[in-house]
Amino acid sequence: MKLSIYHKTIEDISVFDEIMSLYAQEADDVQILSENRRSYRGLEQLLLEIDAATTVVVVSDLSSLGLTTEDILNRLDWFISHNVCLFICKYSTTYEYGMMQLMNKAVLTTLLQSMLNTHKNIVEIPRNKRNNSGRNKIAFPDGWGELYEEWENKKITSKEFIKQSGLKKATFYNILTEYKAMLKEQSDYLKKYRCGKRSG
């Protein structure tokens, strides 16, 4: 089983701790996909390439699925109709019964019905209420991940990276530093939960 964590850059990554504690050791693979609050392209790409039989998608809240209630309803319906397991940190019932698709589907269907029956207070759009945040996360420009990978693999120069990202030089280097720190945070986070899983 593969865990695909969809992380919004405004969220503290520790929001996934409980699910990671429960399932990281038994998962064959864990990936973290981070994306800006208002962007959902990475999520769309993930869902296009997903193997429903072997992948569990993890999000912090329903608001991670879309900007509007309609977007959230459509995505939730997509998970249900495609039989893709979705763990939502805020709703422990989505994951406390294990990676059982039937139970997960029943809980997601209940959430969807609740939203459709005008109980829309379930959906809380994030307002960046990070209690202990020392600094705001920088929003990465569209296509940043792909450009970074090309730059990292020396397919493009720093000058080309700056030009294609559309940033001023100083802003570019600030964002680059933030992005490297985020990648390290993700790597350290995965190591924290995967260190015991080694084949001897």
pLDDT at 85: 93
| pLDDT, greater one: 57 or 195 | 57
Would strands 2-8 and 55-59 be described as parallel, antiparallel, or unpaired? Answer: parallel
pLDDT at 193: 75
Q: Which of 2-11, 26-35, 90-99, 129-138 has the lowest mean pLDDT?
A: 129-138
pLDDT at residue 197 tops 50: no
Is the whole model's pTM more than 0.75, yes or no?
A: no
pLDDT at 135: 47
pLDDT at residue 3 tops 50: yes
Q: Which of 75-84, 100-109, 186-195 has the highest mean pLDDT?
A: 75-84
- Mean pLDDT of all residues in 24-39: 85
CATH code linked to domain 2-122: 3.40.50
CA–CA separation, 100 and 109 (whole Å):
14
pLDDT at 75: 92
Contacts of 40 (CB under 8 A, 6+ apart): 65, 66, 67, 71
Distances (CA, A) of 62 to 74, 147, 198: 11, 29, 33
pLDDT at 170: 85
Q: Which of 6-15, 156-165, 190-199 has the lowest mean pLDDT?
A: 190-199
Judge contact between 6 and 46, C-beta under 8 A: yes
Residue ranges of domains in the chain = 2-122, 144-194
pLDDT at 129: 43
φ/ψ region of 128 (left if φ > 0, alpha if ψ in -120 to 50, else beta) reads left
